Structure 1
């Protein structure tokens, strides 16, 4: 009888196992838009070191880590999450590892990201929301000295760069006689110019304008006529047209219904 009962038990267990294996698996998300909604979270990669677009306060004064983040693009990403009915989680990255981190960890990358062909090989971009370009920022008494690339690219001139981004790439492509000085922290890099440890930095005009407002010692050099043309956009998963289209439509509405202007006003007036 024990063998008989054991046999019946095996049959029952087998039926349960077969039933479990036949149970429908949770339906996989067809695209990143559905995945974000199912997950209930929008994962946002950002560097936190490029004001007015992104800033991370690392003083440790915030109980919620996400509260340490601010900036135009940070608040725009939060607005996107709100429209999706999910929470936004900010994921720290660096300019050097931006695309790698975005691909592995995030749904969108924001924070003054310039559209480049190298990045476009690895990811999609949203519609551009700002036009920009590289221009110098220096102490105001030196502004007349650094109007052109020829004036900047001279022996003895020290141009400071933050490694890994388009600023470094532009400096190394155009400066052959000047000295390029690496400074790893983009939040403190402008203090290097104020303190006389560097003569200038070439970065996006939007950043030079914002930094000049914060530091009266610094002047943005012809930000209305930068050396280059570039556009800002949001980095999106390669190949996912559904998510790209949703973000583009959200961004188009935000740019025309006053949302972007309301978010940007405290930063750029």
Structure 2
């Protein structure tokens, strides 16, 4: 039935070509995905537990499983496109992937470049601090001092949170989150600001080397990003998200990556 409605809509758009050339020339990514026989999904591997590289070289994680499940539902092949974070939106906009499914926070700035489906998970920024600061730093407010050096990954909402909430702190930015957090472990920085899921897992893996201040101090909905001007694709994504949240598929995948640590042996 949905395919029928989309077919009718496509005919209607084509019939108005002389009135609205832009609409007639716009092809939904759904059609392109079907023609290509694959769903190309962008992400930046290294964001636990969303997307990671396993010891065998395969990509694994919450987003990876969601993407594979989506491709299966569409009847096409899942094709991962691992991309550096600072170039991930340009990669989408130039057509090298059909969508970004990579733990991307929905922000007004990003929304000016891409369209987002409804949030599929909500997180926030938390803090990993050096053990030497135990009892001295209990919230982000304590770090808002020039005597403290805070680090995070370049181009992330962690960077935005530091600029907004910790303007007085000394800030160092790194290409990857692993580089940044190692600065704290190695005593070269006082605190690491990043997404709660990553920090929770990292602190569990490195017990005694970091203290996790777990209470998030930001509200961050994560969404799947697509190129602007494709309402059919957005409609599909929102409908698909409602479906998997209603039939238990989402909970099964979520529990695998967020409520179990069995997957850790694949990356350690």
Interval containing the TM-score (normalised by the shorter chain): 0.7 to 0.9
Matched, 1:197 2:194: no
- Which residue in the other structure is 2:221 paired with? 231
Seen in structure 2, the aligned counterparts of structure 1 residues 189 and 261 have a Cα distance that, compared at 3 Å, is: farther
On the 8 A contact 2:40/2:99 being kept in 1, the answer is yes
Seen in structure 2, the aligned counterparts of structure 1 residues 29 and 39 have a Cα distance that, compared at 3 Å, is: farther
Matches of residues 173-252 of structure 1 in structure 2 within 5 Å? 173-217=164-208, 218-223=210-215, 226-252=216-242
On the 8 A contact 1:29/1:35 being kept in 2, the answer is no
Map Cα deviations across residues 145-173 of structure 1 (whole Å, 9 max, x no partner): 33333310123211111112221122133
CA-atom RMSD in angstroms = 2.1
- SS in structure 2 of the partner of residue 164 of structure 1: coil
Matches of residues 15-54 of structure 1 in structure 2 within 5 Å? 30-54=27-51
Mapped partners of 2:42, 2:134: distance in 1: 35
- Which residue in the other structure is 1:148 paired with? 139
- Which residue in the other structure is 1:23 paired with? none
On the 8 A contact 2:141/2:165 being kept in 1, the answer is no
Seen in structure 2, the aligned counterparts of structure 1 residues 85 and 143 have a Cα distance that, compared at 3 Å, is: farther
- SS in structure 1 of the partner of residue 86 of structure 2: coil
- SS in structure 2 of the partner of residue 136 of structure 1: strand
Aligned-pair distance for 1:263?
1.8
Instruction: Name segments (4+ residues, structure 1) moved above 6 Å.
Output: none
- Give the TM-score, by structure 2 length: 0.80
Matched, 1:102 2:92: yes
- Give the TM-score, by structure 1 length: 0.79
Matches of residues 159-174 of structure 1 in structure 2 within 5 Å? 159-174=150-165
Mapped partners of 2:122, 2:82: distance in 1: 25
Mapped partners of 2:79, 2:134: distance in 1: 40
Mapped partners of 1:92, 1:251: distance in 2: 23
- Which residue in the other structure is 2:53 paired with? 56
Matches of residues 65-76 of structure 1 in structure 2 within 5 Å? 67=58, 69-76=59-66
Map Cα deviations across residues 199-241 of structure 1 (whole Å, 9 max, x no partner): 1111122222222222212332133xx2221101111221111
Mapped partners of 2:53, 2:123: distance in 1: 22
Give the paired residue count. Answer: 233
- SS in structure 2 of the partner of residue 187 of structure 1: helix
Mapped partners of 2:137, 2:28: distance in 1: 49
Map Cα deviations across residues 175-202 of structure 1 (whole Å, 9 max, x no partner): 3332212222223432322222221111
On the 8 A contact 1:50/1:187 being kept in 2, the answer is no
